Amino acid sequence: MGSQKPSSFSSLFFLIFSIYLFRVSNSALVPAIYVFGDSLVDVGNNNHLKLSLAKANFPHNGLDFPTKKPTGRFSNGKNAADYVAEKVGLPTSPPYLSLISKFRKVTNTTPFKTGVSFASGGAGIFNETNKLFKQSVAMDQQIEFYSLVYKTLVGELGSPGAAEHLSKSLFTVVIGSNDIFGYHESSDLRNKYSPQQYVDSMASTLKSQLKRLYGYGARKYVVGGIGPVGCAPSQRKRSKGGECDEEVNNWAAIYNIALKSMLQTLKMELKDISYSYFDVYQVMSNFLRSPSSFGFTEIKSACCGLGNLKADVPCLPIATFCPNRNNHLFWDLYHPTQQAHYMFANYIFDGPFTYPLNVNQLIAL
């Protein structure tokens, strides 16, 4: 008799959780959000990668998260993925790797209907980019994981039901910064490709990846461009005056042009898709040009770290952190603060700087 109690409790728990998700999904603006990308939207996938050097599951990360504990987010608190989910009335899409066993067997499919995050710190559009941090989930592998979610949804909802569900869901893609850093750090790549050739290859590779997602039901895409990554503390610290690396910024800007052109072409080829492109480069540039207008007083130095601009040592437990995170643009040597992410989400959802539709308009289609 005693051995049956845990099973009964477990069944009751999942019944209650399923009812909760059903109610949430019925009141939400979209059925689900499926997230793909890098550390800007990673909510904990890298916690489950033993060899990865790109992890944030230790203090002082999560300092301002509701639990006050590190979650695997590269932030003092929430990131844009969390805030966009809140805006549409859904729970944050949980990390896919938290839903499977060490033997890669799915242990919980319940969240599949409201969304899953496949984003991984250090990930790139190119598989080779992942070598920068030893281990991460590249975009191709993220799509492979999603294909398993897709098959589960088809099995549970049927093909027409899954198609209907996914056609109304959001597919968020935030990736490419690590590919730019990879080009910057590799003399071999710079000798092999011109900046234009490299970013064109990034855009064409991402196009094929978005087409793969289309084959698995994606119809509404939310795609983030690359920000002025040459202004991150990790890049500023290399100059005597803490100036931005304009060469890196230029590569990012050239890629964004290629990305926007690619999305327009993709829309012409796949008539039944729609997309929101978030111009994070312009938003971040505004923050950098007129920080006080947005409540920032520190735009060069990281909040958490050690050394020059707090960028010589990452945000490790031995690092120090600023007392007022809301007035800093950067949390660590690469990533924005929770406050910046909150502002990003507002722009993504309501505009401006989100084209040709903001997410609120995208949902209404």
Q: What is the pLDDT of residues 65-121, one digit of tens each?
A: 999 999 999 999 999 999 999 999 999 999 999 999 776 778 888 999 999 999 999
pLDDT tens for residues 147-201? 999 999 999 999 999 999 999 999 999 999 999 999 999 999 999 999 999 999 9
Lowest mean pLDDT among 10-14, 197-201, 256-260, 288-292: 10-14
Terminal-to-terminal C-alpha distance of the chain: 54
Q: Is the per-residue pLDDT at 21 higher than 90? A: no
Residue 210 pLDDT level (bands cut at 50, 70, 90): very high
Q: Which residues are catalytic?
A: 39, 332, 335
320 within domain boundaries: yes
- Report which residue type is found at 328: H
**Residue 18 C-alpha from the chain's centroid:** 26
Residues facing residue 33 across a β-bridge: 170
Q: How far apart are CA 257 and CA 264, in angstroms?
A: 11
Q: Is the per-residue pLDDT at 139 higher than 90? A: yes
Q: Angle at Cα 173 formed by Cα 63 and Cα 334, nearest 5°? A: 40
Angle, helices 280-289 vs 338-350, to 10°: value is 130
Q: Please tell me which residue, 146 or 134, carries the higher pLDDT value.
A: 146
Q: Residue 202's domain is classified under what CATH number?
A: 3.40.50.1110
Ramachandran area for residue 353 (φ above 0: left; ψ -120 to 50: alpha; else beta): left
14 within domain boundaries: no
pLDDT at 26 (0 to 100): 60
pLDDT at 103 (0 to 100): 63
Give the number of other Cβ atoms within 10 Å of residue 163's Cβ: 14
358 within domain boundaries: yes
19 within domain boundaries: no
Write the DSSP assignment of 213-230 as a string of letters: HHHTT--EEEEE----GG
304 within domain boundaries: yes
Paired tokens of 329: 């643009």
**Residue 197 C-alpha from the chain's centroid:** 25
pLDDT at 51 (0 to 100): 85
- Report which residue type is found at 73: R
Could you tell me which of 176, 173, 177, 178 has the C-alpha nearest to residue 146? Answer: 173
Q: Is the per-residue pLDDT at 5 higher than 60? A: no
In residues, how long is the chain?
365
| The total number of structural domains that make up the chain | 1
Q: Is the per-residue pLDDT at 23 higher than 50? A: no
Q: Is the per-residue pLDDT at 15 higher than 90? A: no
What are the b/e assignments for 264-299, b being 16+ CB within 10 Å?
Answer: eebeeeeeebebbbbbbbbbbbebbeebeebebebb
Quick check: 96 and 49 in contact, CB under 8 A? Answer: no
Q: How far apart are CA 188 and CA 168, in angstroms?
A: 43
7 within domain boundaries: no
pLDDT at 7 (0 to 100): 44
C-alpha pair distances (Å), 153 with each of 121, 162, 228, 324: 26, 6, 38, 44
10 within domain boundaries: no
Paired tokens of 283: 């938003």
Quick check: 95 and 48 in contact, CB under 8 A? Answer: yes
Quick check: 45 and 146 in contact, CB under 8 A? Answer: no
Q: How far apart are CA 282 and CA 36, in angstroms?
A: 22
Q: Is the per-residue pLDDT at 8 higher than 50? A: no
Q: Which domain holds residue 110?
A: 30-364
Find the largest Cα–Cα distance for the chain: 72
C-alpha pair distances (Å), 141 with each of 12, 147, 212: 34, 10, 12
Q: Is the per-residue pLDDT at 134 higher than 90? A: no
Q: How far apart are CA 158 and CA 166, in angstroms?
A: 12
Paired tokens of 155: 């099995």
259 within domain boundaries: yes
pLDDT at 91 (0 to 100): 97
